[in-house]
């Protein structure tokens, strides 16, 4: 049986994404932090990790991108998982004045929270916030999590579909020590840094244009080592083992201070 590590408690969206990605029966293993998730796959305690990297409403998950820089694991897959937030608790909606959840979930439901004048308290996980509410057992306290988490911890749903936008998806990367072979519909993720000089980023981007390679994402993140210096995270169509992509990456490497290929994997579509 395939073992997959995820961050959070049972019923977390990461666990649901893992079960959606792997069509066969899997063993999901929960961990408290993203770092522990990746570490346990690196140590062969699990075969795969599932890591949220981007949300359609709140943008990138900064901590995940910082960990991708340092991990030795390969990105071998991706999945877009629909996020359907519920307000969960034992009280009525007019009794709730405090709501717990992961900061991303709180941000994704900001309009609902402000409309009902609720105070927010961040938790390390959406499903974990349901456990908190169950232990508190207070009518004025509720949390934001999934229907699945509500069922697992047997805490009632007060309101459904409370996100700012119902078109709410989170993109998850699947990581392992393995590499994915060419599927014909692939995406590659890389990280690089460049010199602080005019035209340095343009020279990198120009390579994609010359090779007719479509960029699907580009984002900068602070290096955390030197002030106001950045690493660039780029996703593009194609596989690193394709001769055209391989040649392009060699040219890009010449204009970077460092280049890391996170991995190539079949490109996912919205379900």
The pLDDT of residue 85:
97
- Which of the residues are catalytic? 170, 172
Cα torsion at 12, 17, 19, 22 (round to 10°)?
A: -150
Q: Strand order of the sheet with strand 119-122?
A: 119-122, 98-101, 141-145, 86-89, 157-160
For the whole model, what pTM was predicted?
A: 0.92
The pLDDT of residue 225:
79
Parts of the chain belonging to CATH 3.40.190.10? 2-83+168-176, 86-160
Contact 12, 101 (CB under 8 A): no
Taking only the tens place, the pLDDT of each residue in 119-144 is 999 999 999 999 999 999 999 999 99
The pLDDT of residue 17:
97
- Which of 71-80, 107-116, 224-233 is predicted with the least confidence, judged by mean pLDDT? 224-233
For the chain, the average pLDDT equals 95
Taking only the tens place, the pLDDT of each residue in 7-49 is 999 999 999 999 999 988 899 999 999 999 999 999 999 999 9
Q: CATH classification of 86-160 is 1.10.760.10, yes or no?
A: no
Taking only the tens place, the pLDDT of each residue in 202-237 is 999 999 999 999 999 999 999 877 788 899 999 999
The pLDDT of residue 216:
96
Fold (CATH) for 186-266: Alpha-Beta Plaits (3.30.70)
Is the pLDDT at 69 greater than 90? The verdict is yes
Task: Give the CATH number of domain 2-83+168-176.
Answer: 3.40.190.10
Parts of the chain belonging to CATH 3.30.70.260? 186-266
Confidence of residue 195 (pLDDT cuts 50, 70, 90): confident
Nearest in space to 64 (alpha carbons), one of 216, 221, 178, 188:
221
Is the pLDDT at 166 greater than 90? The verdict is no
């Amino acid at each position: 049986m395939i073992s997959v590590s995820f961050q959070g408690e049972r019923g977390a969206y990461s666990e649901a994404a893992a079960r959606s990605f792997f069509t066969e029966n899997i063993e999901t293993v929960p961990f408290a932090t993203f770092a522990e998730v990746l570490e346990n796959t690196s140590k062969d305690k699990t075969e795969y990790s599932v890591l949220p990297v981007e949300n359609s409403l709140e943008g990138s998950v900064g901590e995940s991108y910082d960990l991708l820089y340092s991990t030795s694991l390969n990105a071998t897959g991706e999945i877009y998982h629909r996020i359907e937030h519920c307000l969960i608790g034992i009280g009525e909606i007019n009794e709730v004045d405090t709501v717990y959840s992961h900061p991303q979930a709180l941000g994704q439901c900001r309009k609902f929270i402000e409309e009902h004048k609720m105070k927010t308290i961040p938790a390390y996980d959406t499903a974990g916030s349901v456990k908190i509410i169950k232990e508190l057992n207070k009518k004025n306290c509720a949390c934001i999590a999934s229907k699945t988490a509500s069922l697992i911890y047997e805490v009632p749903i007060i309101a459904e579909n409370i996100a700012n936008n119902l078109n709410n998806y989170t993109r998850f990367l699947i990581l392992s020590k393995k590499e994915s072979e060419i599927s014909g519909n692939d995406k590659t993720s890389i990280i690089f840094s460049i010199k602080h000089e005019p035209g340095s980023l343009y020279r990198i981007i120009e390579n994609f244009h010359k090779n007719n390679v479509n960029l699907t994402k580009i984002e900068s993140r602070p290096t955390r080592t030197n002030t106001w210096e950045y690493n660039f995270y780029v996703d593009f169509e194609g596989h690193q083992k394709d001769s055209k992509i391989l040649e392009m990456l060699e040219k890009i490497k010449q204009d970077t201070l460092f280049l890391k290929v996170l991995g190539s994997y079949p490109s996912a579509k919205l379900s």
